[in-house]
């Protein structure tokens, strides 16, 4: 850049010098900018700062991976501790496991036809206190997740007759019938 004044613009100087070195003018411009950043002539990230940022990002990524491994190891050790000492299990998990057995038994006893609402009624009839699945007239309660539905989903069971729901799928190979009424689907005025 010592002879920059010999050319009309910086672009012209970069083009001329790039031809002498046998490289692209853009590559030379990038090198010159980096030298200016490093020397403090032009504001921007210096090479050392870029390298430090890259190193910190790599370190951050490694720490996240280590945290994930530790989180999984902790979850595994907690599960193992619960297996060894069932008293460490949360009260919800204990009640869920006891209730799951009763739900499965009620479902089996009723030929696997009952859905969550009827299973809830069976459990209530047997004296089991379970959160309601519905409000008045069978409508679902707002914001209340049904315990029976959740546990049936966890068990992988579903009531009903087992019939598949079929929808009408048109046969695209058969042409559509002609319009026998000669309807015109045009509006005489906007809505």
pLDDT tens figures, 88-144: 888 888 889 999 999 999 999 998 888 888 898 899 899 988 877 666 565 655 555
Structure tokens at 90: 């949360």
Q: Read off the tokens for 14.
A: 């970069």
Q: What is residue 145's predicted lDDT score, i.e. its pLDDT?
A: 61
Q: Is the pLDDT of residue 66 over 60?
A: yes
Q: Tell me the whole-structure pTM to 2 decimals.
A: 0.44
| Residue 50 structure tokens | 């870029």
Cα dihedral 69/74/79/81 (nearest 10): 140
| Better-predicted residue by pLDDT, 167 or 69 | 69
Distance CA 152, CA 157 (A): 5
Q: Give the C-alpha distances (Å, rounded to integers) separating 187 from 38, 179, 183.
A: 71, 18, 12
């Amino acid at each position: 850049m010592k002879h920059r004044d010999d050319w009309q613009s910086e672009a012209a100087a970069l083009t001329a010098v790039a031809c002498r070195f046998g490289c692209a003018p853009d590559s030379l411009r990038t090198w010159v900018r980096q030298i200016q950043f490093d020397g403090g002539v032009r504001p921007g990230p210096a090479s050392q700062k870029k390298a430090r940022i890259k190193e910190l990002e790599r370190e951050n990524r490694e720490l996240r991976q280590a945290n994930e491994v530790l989180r999984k190891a902790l979850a595994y050790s907690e599960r193992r501790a619960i297996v060894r000492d069932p008293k460490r299990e949360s009260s919800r998990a204990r009640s869920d496991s006891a209730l799951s057995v009763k739900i499965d038994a009620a479902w089996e006893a009723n030929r696997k036809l009952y859905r969550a609402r009827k299973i809830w009624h069976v459990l209530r009839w047997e004296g089991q206190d379970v959160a309601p699945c519905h409000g008045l007239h069978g409508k679902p309660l707002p914001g209340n997740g049904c315990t029976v539905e959740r546990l049936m989903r966890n068990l992988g069971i579903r009531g009903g007759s087992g019939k598949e729901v079929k929808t009408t799928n048109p046969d695209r190979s058969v042409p559509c019938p002609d319009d026998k009424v000669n309807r015109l689907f045009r509006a005489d005025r906007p809505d």
